[in-house]
Amino acid sequence: MRNHSIIVQKYGGVCLETPAKIRSVARSLADLHGRGHRVVAIVSAMGKTTDQLIQMAYQVSPAPNRRELDMLLTTGERISMSLMSMALADLGVPAISFTGSQAGVMTDDSHSSARILDVRPIRVREELDRGRVVVLAGFQGVNPATREITTLGRGGSDTTAVAMAAALKAERCEIIKEVDGICSADPRIVPDAKSLRQVDFASLSEMCFWGAKVLHFRSIELAQSQDVPLVIKQWGGVEHSTQVVKEGAGMENGKALAVNSIARIEHVEIDSRDLSHGFEKFAQHLKQNSLSWPQLLDSGFAAGKTSMTVACDSEWLDALSRTLEQSQDLRKPREASSSVSLTCFGAVSPELPLTALQVLAHHGIVPDKYVMSPNSVSLFVPVENREAAVKALHSLVQQT
Ligand SMILES: Nc1ncnc2c1ncn2[C@@H]1O[C@H](COP(=O)(O)OP(=O)(O)O)[C@@H](O)[C@H]1O
Ligand SMILES: N[C@@H](CC(=O)OP(=O)(O)O)C(=O)O
């Protein structure tokens, strides 16, 4: 099998929700294997397993130890990988499952937000050469210095898939989803959102930073730097739904591609001398409460206070809110907000921010913050206006 091309496929929790769905994914892997490819399947935890495990941890401890939390969360992917391997064996396909550490995914020591330092897939290669389908637990690795098990952060299986595809020099890395690829908006909010057949790395990276739950943000950067051919495919479909390309050939500069949103953004105020002091106090607070760094969206200093605007998964934000109630110097100055972002191919045109504000005003939505990035216009709106804001801004996406 040494000369056969390697295909890495990643299946998210939605595609693996039930034993029946696992059997059906196994049939599709068997089919790919039967067509002569060497197949590596990266699996996430079934359905909402990771959420349930996190909730369980917080029921046991208000500030779960991060090492132990990683030990707990990695079990979700172990369940999927072993079940998938069993289902493949039942179909007569030789298969073997590996955890992240068995597969040689080496990370730093940052529990719950570890970064991949190296991938040494020795056992994976051996098993592929033997003709087996290799099923790998996504979202996890091991720190070679401490020998501790780590996780890559929520949604990290996409990053495992890209890193493994790069290390194995795979022909391509396919991210298999239930949705029809990357859409011009979350189809749950905008049912007639169109699927983007091609998207360039820079735009996709900003879409995912600003809330498109289609790919782990870090996996995009990795695919670009490691030159991994990356496609997003709808589960059951034969064609690629979305192909990620270096440059979006044929697309107009500044064209609005998609609207995405972050449902919950929390604001934190820190009594401090200056911005740097504010950051130090925030870092200390996170450490004391066993919290990893969140996604930082905005920060500023005025009148003895550092303000931080952060996003993360809801369990993390709930935990932060609880710890802030007990703090003297850090507090929540206001209710949470949502962001809504319009991402363009190429640089944002200078008139777009005003147009976006006018469209929202027409729908009675008044944002209170505007953040500019190279490809996106992002506005912070009240949580209750989020869906209406996404629908309104979607009218600016060119329907071609
Ligand atoms: N721009 C977007 N395009 C496609 N899906 C999006 C977008 N923004 C948010 N989503 C949501 O992301 C999820 C995509 O992946 P899904 O296959 O359901 O999950 P996973 O593979 O991570 O288990 C869907 O629930 C979809 O509603
Ligand atoms: N199970 C992990 C990792 C992951 O990547 O999941 P998914 O591919 O279903 O988003 C999580 O829920 O964060």
Q: How confident is the model at residue 180 (pLDDT cuts 50, 70, 90)?
A: confident
CA distances from 41 to 7, 98, 166, 172, 349 (A): 8, 10, 14, 12, 41
Q: What is the tens place of the pLDDT at every residue in 385-396?
A: 999 999 999 999
Lowest-pLDDT range, 72-81, 130-139, 310-319? Answer: 310-319
**Which one has a higher pLDDT value, 213 or 94?**
94
What pLDDT, on a 0 to 100 scale, did the predictor assign at position 372? 87
**Residue 253, pLDDT above cutoff 80:** no
For residue 262, being part of any structural domain is answered with: no
The answer, yes or no, to whether any atom of ligand 2 lies below 6 A from the CB of 80, is: no
Tell me: the pLDDT tens digits for 198-238? 999 999 999 999 999 899 999 999 999 999 999 999 988 77
Concatenating the DSSP letter of every residue in 134-202 gives: EEEE-SEEE-TTT--EEE--TTTHHHHHHHHHHHHT-SEEEEEESSSSSBSS-TTT-TTPPBPSEEEHH
pLDDT range class, residue 248, cuts 50, 70, 90: low
pLDDT digits (tens, 9 = 90+) for 123-153: 999 999 999 999 999 999 999 999 999 999 9
Q: Is the pLDDT of residue 46 over 80?
A: yes
Give the pLDDT mean for 267-292: 96
Residue 25 within a domain:
yes
Number of independent structural domains in the chain: 1
Q: Are strands 198-200 and 242-245 parallel, antiparallel or unpaired?
A: parallel
Domain range for residue 145?
6-178
Separation in Å, CA 240 to CA 197, 211, 313, 374: 8, 22, 29, 27
- Classify residue 145: in a domain, yes or no: yes
In a domain, 298, yes or no: no
Assigned domain for 156 exists:
yes
Ligand 1 site, CB within 6 A: 12-14, 44, 177-179, 182-183, 185-188, 212-214, 258, 260
CATH number at residue 13: 3.40.1160.10
Relative to the CA of 10, which ligand 2 atom is closest?
8
Whether 213 is covered by a domain: the verdict is no
State the complex-level ipTM.
0.96
Q: Quick check: is 200 in a domain?
A: no
Residue 19 lies in a domain: yes
Known binding-site positions for ATP: 10-13, 188, 213-214
